[in-house]
Amino acid sequence: MEAYEYTEVELPFIDQLVSYGYEYLEGKKLDFERKGRGSIVLEGRLAESIRRLNDWISDSNVEKAVKQLVTIQSVDLWDANNKMFEWLFGQGISVLQDLGGGKKNQTVRLFDFDKVDRNEFLVVNQISYTNANGTIRPDIVIYINGLPLVLVECKSPKLKWDKQLPEGVRQFDRYQETNERIFWYNQMLIVTSRDRARVGTILARPQHYGLWKDPYPFTIEDVGINRSQDIMVAGMLRKEAILDLMRNFIVFDGKVKKLARYQQYRAVNKGIHRIMTEKKPSLRGGVVWHTQGSGKSLTMVYMAMKLRRVASLENPMLVIVTDRQDLDDQITKTFQNCGFPDPTQATSVADLKGQLGKGPGTTVMTLIQKFQGSEDKEGNQIFPIISEEENIIVMTDESHRSQYKGLAMNMRKALPNATFIGFTGTPIDKEKRSTTGKFGSYIDKYTIEQAVEDGATVPIYYESRLPKVHMKGDSLDELFDRAFFDYDEDTREKIKQKHVNEALILTAPERMDEIALDIARHFESHILVNGYKAQVVAVSRAAAVKYKKLIDQYAKGQFETAVIFSAGQNDEKELREHHINKDEEKELIRRFKKPFSEDKLAMLIVCDKLLTGFDAPVEQVMYLDKPLREHNLLQAIARTNRRYDKNKTYGLIVDYFGVSRFLDQALEIFSASDVKGALQSIDEEIPRLEQRHRSAVRFFDGLNKSQREESILRLADEDVRADFELAYKRFAESMDKVMPSPKAEPFVGDIKHLGLIRQLAKSRFSIDDGLDISDCGEKVRHLVYKHLQSNGIQVRDPISILDASFKEEVEDNVLPETRAAQIEHAIKREISIRMEEDEVFYTSLKQKVEDLLERFKERQLDIYELLDKLYSTREEMLSKVKGKTKSGLKSEEEPYFNKLLEVFEGQKKVEELKQMAVEVHQFIEDRVASIPDWTAKTDFKRKLNADLKIILLKKRMPMSDAAMLVGYFTALAEVQYR
């Protein structure tokens, strides 16, 4: 690790944890208490913690508990991590012991969640874990009670952020490939460069790592910090916070391990704090407004999980209320997938009353419609009091819609002392404030703008594509008055009310045909090429069916469509043909959510269904041809804002009706600060495209497109190449948003040319293998790929510096600067591959190359002198690889000598060091050469290390040097005798 990375990132991380009461230890100091470098768990500390937290437990049962936690039978890493989580933070582990009434299973306490200082918190850096596959050395490991629960990768702030996070995640992947066992216990993976920090869970990709921007319950001012790493450590890793997060804010949802985002953690703890501190039930509730797509359903799961564990609430009854069957099904499924115990859906009014009467520990999922009461003689709703208990928590989803009506009143009659918490994804009407009036004040807010800024959701762009036959409301009135001018005013009004409305204009055949063709063309060229999917919103069920027929006609089998609407008993034949049952609807939705590469169902056509509470991240565009207003409009457009993959950088609303005027009205009704950032016009991307275009082409100022070699050479320096890479990706991202609009045309030539230079530089300087334009959007990728082909470019794998034809290929380059750059990168690449074989030699060689480049920059060498010296360096490496040595020793002995010479030069004679190297190598070879899998044998390695240390100490060297050399020589032996 470079010094800057240690002093600016790793050390402040450790120091902050120490200030929170953690104990700091260097990894090598733990080697004396570990069974060997293969040990992941600090077994002695784990055993001591179990004794401390379970004063009843026998020594033999301590041993059994430890053994269970260090030996796990599982089919794969996912299964092992899931099982370990259940043992640590879920159902726990138990042992058979007699506490005075015969032998019974007793639950073993592994953590004290109430008195956190009774647990042992260690922060450890540069600890090594070794097995048959090799050695890994994470930057920081957090141990709690001897268990390695958090891994941290520190990245230099000098490295570009778009490199830091992916490289950190790749590092975790490499650790996993080498030593999977440490990930059995892992609950958090952190990548940080101090100014930027993100956290994820096992198997997560970089785009799923999240920020932590709030040190709740403290403020940034309270803790006196404002750097991302410091805020994350304060918010997540304080003793009480880290245990709370691991116990209450992690779920296994399907095949994804999910850790709460900061706004979810904050909202749940704020809500529970209010419940615990307010004396009156009516004051305990409130509203959680978290914008669409930011994980509202999961927030409800986390809150439910933690409420169950609040001892003073005495295992409360939880009631989860929605107002639509699909939402009820969805949230029930979320609770089930996350492993929440026994959520029960009420099937009828009678069943709901029965469920609510069951008392503590019950979790009831219900539609608010099931609070339907009977009517008395005056027509008033009667609903009985079912429970007057105070430990009942009612959570309502999308609380602004139906919670103010008579059904909500029945709910409150039935549960008069319950706490009511409203969850909503859209802001509250600033004129009526009806939601806060019913539920109480805000508990927590998380706005659209915050979600986009955090990357929790993608921004939504708006594009108006009004057809020629579109009629605004006032135009419709004028048209009607002209057509029926000879009728009196009363008669005209009756005709208008009965026969003429927006739906009539919207379903005009010419208009629908024009729109269907436009949808098919737009979808194929803008959306489908990137693998994303769409919804079409029609004004009526009949219009939805008509759109399906027309779009299918124009799609020509390129993709499938489906229409989903609520069936009516008296529907005509054309509608009846599209009636589907509940299971069939679920199957269509399941297919739609799959990637297009797996299922060609790419477009759902609806009129009322699936406009709220429908979560399909693969959907990027909504084609609107319906007059949606207020909440319904804000809810609908949010269907497109879910994150999906790294290439989905925005959602899109294509407006055929003209909802922009309703959007303006909606934004006026709701607080401006709440909805800021809801929509951006696609035209707003043009200035950004122009700016990003300039940022990318500036790297080649003064060169024309025919000067290819000179252009490639501009990217020879690694830092310049990293800057260009970021600029190019941003340019490509903006191009992908705007294409194939004619407004993108002026930039097409440059995106092709820059893509060509980028790819040739990647190949030339051995950055990557083969053709790589995978991180561009499909439209840009298609352009660049065709341009590469049309130029006859064959991108080859980087050629090894050891290859016989290496010099010949390098000499093909016209410019000597290009030849020098290619040699430099090839040497560095080979050094990185071979570093473990002789760290001293290859580090020295790397420094020699750096010195040559520095001398060239300072004009102490000309380009031809630099080329000669780089070729000489290559020859030195070739000799080394072929087994020739400077010392005269055998090639396998020389790495031992080089290290000894580095440590004792000037203190011991060279011949003495040579003899020592031969002796040490011979000792190791005699011990390990004939023993298969010796690196996995803990006892054998411990004995080998001890005997080797004795040999070195007999050579009259300090204990510290001997201990260091034992570790170095053992690691070297693992490379030589794999």
Q: What is the pLDDT of residue 272?
A: 94
Is residue 370's pLDDT more than 50?
Answer: yes
- The answer to which of 294-298, 700-704, 876-880 has the lowest mean pLDDT is 876-880
Whether the Cβ atoms of residue 136 and residue 178 lie closer than 8 Å to each other: yes
**Cα torsion at 582, 588, 589, 592 (round to 10°)?**
180
Instruction: Determine the pLDDT at residue 858.
Output: 67
Residue 909 pLDDT: 82
pLDDT at 772 over 50: no
- Residue-level pLDDT at 770: 38
Share of the chain above pLDDT 70, in %: 80
For residue 224, the one-letter residue type is: G
- Whether the per-residue pLDDT at 24 is higher than 70: the answer is yes
Question: What is the arithmetic mean of pLDDT over 634-653?
Answer: 84
Tell me the mean pLDDT in the region 294-323: 90
Q: Does 718 have pLDDT greater than 80?
A: no
More confident of the two residues 559 and 977:
559
pLDDT value, residue 470: 47
pLDDT value at residue 620: 93
pLDDT for the residue 45: 96
Retrieve residue 907's tokens: 């203190």
Write down the pLDDT at residue 941.
78
Query: Mean of the per-residue pLDDT values for the chain?
Result: 81
Q: What's residue 480's pLDDT?
A: 53
Q: Identify whether 627 is preceded by a cis peptide bond (ω within 30 of 0).
A: no
pLDDT score for 643: 86
Q: Where residue 767 falls among pLDDT bands split at 50, 70, 90?
A: very low
Q: Which long-range contacts (CB under 8 A, 24 or more apart) does 371-378 make?
A: 371/407, 371/408, 371/410, 371/411, 371/414, 372/407, 372/410, 373/410
pLDDT tops 50 at residue 751: yes
For the stretch 319-354, what's the b/e string if a residue is b when 16 or more beta carbons lie within 10 angstroms of its beta carbon? bbbbbbebbbbbbbebbeebebeebebbeebeebbe
pLDDT at 929: 74
Phi, psi (rounded to 5 degrees) for 248: -115, -10
What is the residue-wise DSSP string for 262-314? HHHHHHHHHHHHHHHH-SSHHHH-EEEEE-TTS-HHHHHHHHHHHHHH-GGG-
pLDDT digits (tens, 9 = 90+) for 141-182: 999 999 999 999 998 887 766 678 888 888 999 999 999 999
CB 672 within 8 A of CB 718: no
Element (H, E) at 98: strand 93-98
Residue 785 predicted with pLDDT over 60: no
In whole angstroms, what is the distance from residue 87 CA to residue 97 CA? 18
Cα–Cα distances (Å) from 806 to 56, 800, 826, in that order, read: 70, 7, 10
Task: Report which listed range, 10-24, 372-386, 437-451, is most confident.
Answer: 10-24
Q: What is the pLDDT of residue 598?
A: 92
Question: Does an H or E element contain 975, and which?
Answer: helix 959-976
Continuous segment of H or E residues that includes residue 19: helix 11-19
pLDDT reported for residue 773 = 43
pLDDT value at position 403? 46
Of 36-40, 420-424, 822-826, the least confident: 822-826
Nearest to 304 by CA among 321, 289, 290: 321
Higher pLDDT, 440 or 493: 440
Residue 140 pLDDT level (bands cut at 50, 70, 90): very high
Q: What is the tens place of the pLDDT at every residue in 293-306? A: 788 889 999 999 99
- CA atoms of 445 and 232, how far apart (whole Å): 20
Q: Are 211 and 218 in contact (CB under 8 A)?
A: no
Assign 779 a pLDDT band (cuts: 50, 70, 90). low
Helix (H) or strand (E) holding 25: strand 23-26
pLDDT at 804: 52
The span from the CA of 953 to the CA of 950, in Å, is: 5
Q: What is the pTM of this model?
A: 0.68
Q: Which uninterrupted H or E stretch holds 759?
A: helix 745-764
3-class SS letters over 920-953:
HHHHHHHHHCCCCCHHHCHHHHHHHHHHHHHHHH
Determine the pLDDT at residue 377.
Answer: 59
Confidence band of 632 (pLDDT split at 50, 70, 90): confident
Question: Is 136 in a helix, a strand, or coil?
Answer: strand
Contact predicate 182/175, CB 8 Å = yes
Q: How many residues appear in the chain?
A: 978
Torsion-angle region of 792 (φ positive above 0: left; ψ -120 to 50: alpha; else: beta):
left
| Per-residue pLDDT at 794 | 44
pLDDT digits (tens, 9 = 90+) for 557-611: 899 999 999 888 888 888 888 899 988 998 999 999 999 999 999 999 998 888 7
Q: Which pLDDT score is estimated for 322?
A: 87
Q: Which residue has the tokens 């769409």?
A: 534
Q: Is the pLDDT of residue 656 over 70?
A: yes
Q: Of 157-161, 236-240, 528-532, 961-965, which gets the smallest average pLDDT?
A: 157-161
| 8-state DSSP, 428 | P
CB atoms within 10 A of CB 463: 15
Looking at residue 273, its pLDDT comes to 94
pLDDT value at position 2?
Answer: 64
- In eight-state DSSP terms, residue 457 is B
- pLDDT for res 392: 92
Is residue 783 pLDDT above 60, yes or no?
no
More confident residue, 572 or 740: 572
Q: What is the pLDDT of residue 661?
A: 65
Residue 324's pLDDT band (boundaries 50, 70, 90)? confident
432-482: pLDDT as tens digits: 444 555 677 789 988 877 887 888 888 888 787 777 554 444 444 554 555
